[in-house]
Structure 1
Amino acid sequence: MRLQSLIPTIPDDLVAALEACGIRTDADLLFSGTPVDIIQRLTPGVVSLADLKTYIGLVAESASAPGIRGDALYTEEIQRRRDYNLDITCGVDELDELVNGFDGGRVFEISGDRGSGKTLLVSQIALRLLAAYKEASVLWMDTTGDFSVERTSLIAQQLDGENSSAVLERLQVSLVLNIDTARALLEDVKSSLTTNALRDPRVRLVIIDSITSLLAPSLSAVSSYGHAIMTTFMQHLRNMARSYYLAFLVVNNTSGSLPHNPMSVFSSTVRKPALGPSFTFLTDCTIWLARHEDTTNAEAGSSIHVAEIFKSRPTRSRTWCTFKVHNRILRSATVPE
């Protein structure tokens, strides 16, 4: 920050004298030495040592982030939860308990190989939310063009019966093929939440399926540029989640992890989430899905899956549960068909 912008907090003659000594910004003033060192560089009589110390303190105050007490932050968070809190669940009690629900304020990474149930899980979370809360809407960012209206409609019919068409009216699907389009769409969401905060339906959940297609093309083993894009984008998601109490579900593809994935409690897990090891630390919870092929009952149209928590900030990591997929619906593994 230029010292010129702090006039009249700092007298203009002092600013001119400092600039003549090469001290032009707040950083120059704060880190060019002690007040005694600085005053020795100035023309005698421009400022007293006591006044210089006062002005340096004012500059430091202007350059600092405003402080806020912990109890004030806690009160603000409790109030935001009261204003925006929705009970977002997937309908599988064991999995909901593992992650303490899919409520707003967090970014969830959902990964697993093809057929593990990633898209079914995010679909069921979204449709259950829409069925339970008429004031809520969901934004689905389709990055591959694979979103299936027919499949989603069938799931909605099984979950909400005759009201499925009304539910789907509040599911916004956007084809997003690059990171710039994703950023622009998120800015539109932020703008709508800021200017139309009391207008319903309001976006409460954002799904990105898949995040890999957006970020992987920029990543490179010989440049940090792609990594910077990934970090900045994910930090933006986390800031939006906390500021507007949104829930983000980002679906991630997989890559190899031989001889096995050390984050998994199962030695048979030889895959891991894509986008590199640092991506795990850019989300609040990483859920790994896997399908037990030997338990598939083709005749009954059901299969058994495992959901494992690789990493979680609000709950325990390295925990897991099983669930069942029957006719495209996730159910508790103990519930009879």
Structure 2
Amino acid sequence: MRLSNLIPSLPQDLISALETIGIRTEMDLLFSASALDMYNRLPAGSITFQDLSYYMGLAAELCAAPGASARDLWTLEDEARRKDVQLATGDEEFDLFLSGLGSRRVLELSGDSGSGKTTLAVQLILYHLAANPNHTGTYVDTTGDFSLDQASRIVETKQLPINILERFKLTFAFDLNAVQELLSTFNVMENGHTFLLVIDTITPLLGPLLSAVSAQGHAHMVEFMRQIQDYARCSSATVIIINNSAGQGPHSAERKPALGPSFSLMTDTTLWLQKITGQEEGPAYRSVQMIKSHSVVRTFLIPLQMPSF
């Protein structure tokens, strides 16, 4: 920081005298020479040694980051942890599989069409609202395909309280700017703010921006994902981002999350959903693979009794 920015805390005549000997920033003032050496270089009579020492200490105080005791930091962390969101779907084993993925995290759900991404995301919101009567959940639809009737059917099937739908907020955003404006309107200090946010889907918003010949789209993606991460961290919220799938390559039938490896690096966890084929009777099952650092950690089979949206 330039010393001139510390006026009037530091006198103008002192800063002018320091500039004559090449001292222009707080780094120059504090680390380029000792107080005695600096005093001997200053014009005679411009300042006393005691005053120079005082103003050096004042500059260090003004430019330093505010301190915090370990006790205060622990208290803040404990308060944030009390607000942690525990992801739940009503299935005890699957909820154990999801433990630790909520609160201050960005979770990616990816898979082919019909793999149950939307169904899982809606169930996560609804069970969260049922367990937390002061919270709201926001569902951002980027394609216009979702309706609250789908949430109502899950409430009925799972026998959840019907009044939780009053706190299920559905909004539509068809471009990146609309989602960013929505994030800026969230008041994280307001009681009842959004603790669980779903964006379904992110692919049509970011996909058209990405290009092999330009880095501008990638920069927009990074900026947007940092905004998402900041919201999750600062509000103790869980952000669930649904991403479509893409082919592994022209000669492979394998599928992978869309938007490339850079996108996966900007989420905390990726859940890869697949529909289990060859079933003739009973509820439709999907496999859920948890991917961290591009490595499969564990796999779970979950019955999704609602049709895939």
Q: Under a length normalisation based on structure 2, what TM-score does the superposition of the two structures give? A: 0.83
1:60 deviates by 5.0
1:119 deviates by 0.5
Q: Is the 8 A contact 1:142 1:209 kept in 2?
A: yes
1:255 deviates by 2.0
Candidates 312, 327, 330, aligned match of 2:306: 327
Give percent identity, aligned residues only.
Answer: 37
Counterpart mapping for 1:45-194 below 5 A: 45=44, 46=46, 58-59=58-59, 61-70=61-70, 72-82=72-82, 84-160=83-159, 163-164=161-162, 166-189=163-186, 191=187, 193-194=188-189
Amino acid at match of 1:238: Q
Q: How far does the alpha carbon of each residue in 1:294-317 deviate from its partner, in whole angstroms, 9 at most, with x for none?
A: 2x33x54x222111111179xx95
Greater displacement, 303-312 / 118-127 = 303-312
Q: Is the 8 A contact 1:3 1:24 kept in 2?
A: yes
Aligned match of 2:220: 229
- Superposed CA RMSD in Å reads 3.4
Counterpart mapping for 1:195-210 below 5 A: 196-197=190-191, 201-210=192-201
Q: How far does the alpha carbon of each residue in 1:118-147 deviate from its partner, in whole angstroms, 9 at most, with x for none?
A: 101101111112223322211111111121
1:269 deviates by 8.0
Aligned match of 1:333: none
1:160 deviates by 2.8
Greater displacement, 16-25 / 230-239 = 16-25
Matched, 1:290 2:268: no
Candidates 250, 263, 266, aligned match of 1:279: 263
Distance between the aligned counterparts of 1:157 and 1:52, measured in 2? 74
Q: Is the 8 A contact 1:155 1:328 kept in 2?
A: no
Amino acid at match of 2:298: T
Distance between the aligned counterparts of 2:201 and 2:49, measured in 1? 60
Q: Is the 8 A contact 2:17 2:43 kept in 1?
A: no
Where do 5+ consecutive residues of structure 1 fail to align?
Answer: 261-267, 330-337
Q: Under a length normalisation based on structure 1, what TM-score does the superposition of the two structures give? A: 0.77
Q: How far does the alpha carbon of each residue in 1:311-334 deviate from its partner, in whole angstroms, 9 at most, with x for none?
A: 179xx95211111122349xxxxx
* 1:130/1:68 CA distance change after superposition, 3 Å: same
Aligned match of 1:35: 33
Distance between the aligned counterparts of 1:43 and 1:327, measured in 2? 80
Q: How far does the alpha carbon of each residue in 1:19-78 deviate from its partner, in whole angstroms, 9 at most, with x for none?
A: 567765557x479x8237x959x7633468897677566545544433445554333221
Candidates 202, 206, 217, aligned match of 1:215: 206
Q: Is the 8 A contact 1:89 1:101 kept in 2?
A: no
Count of aligned residue pairs for this structure pair: 305
* 1:95/1:74 CA distance change after superposition, 3 Å: farther
Distance between the aligned counterparts of 1:115 and 1:140, measured in 2? 19
Distance between the aligned counterparts of 1:205 and 1:132, measured in 2? 12
Amino acid at match of 1:16: S
Aligned match of 1:305: 286
* 1:309/1:187 CA distance change after superposition, 3 Å: same
Q: How far does the alpha carbon of each residue in 1:184-204 deviate from its partner, in whole angstroms, 9 at most, with x for none?
A: 111111x2x32x33xxx4322
1:258 deviates by 4.1
Amino acid at match of 1:327: M
Q: How far does the alpha carbon of each residue in 1:243-267 deviate from its partner, in whole angstroms, 9 at most, with x for none?
A: 221111111122222499xxxxxxx
Where do 5+ consecutive residues of structure 2 fail to align?
Answer: none
Structure 1 runs of 4+ with >6 Å offset: 48-54
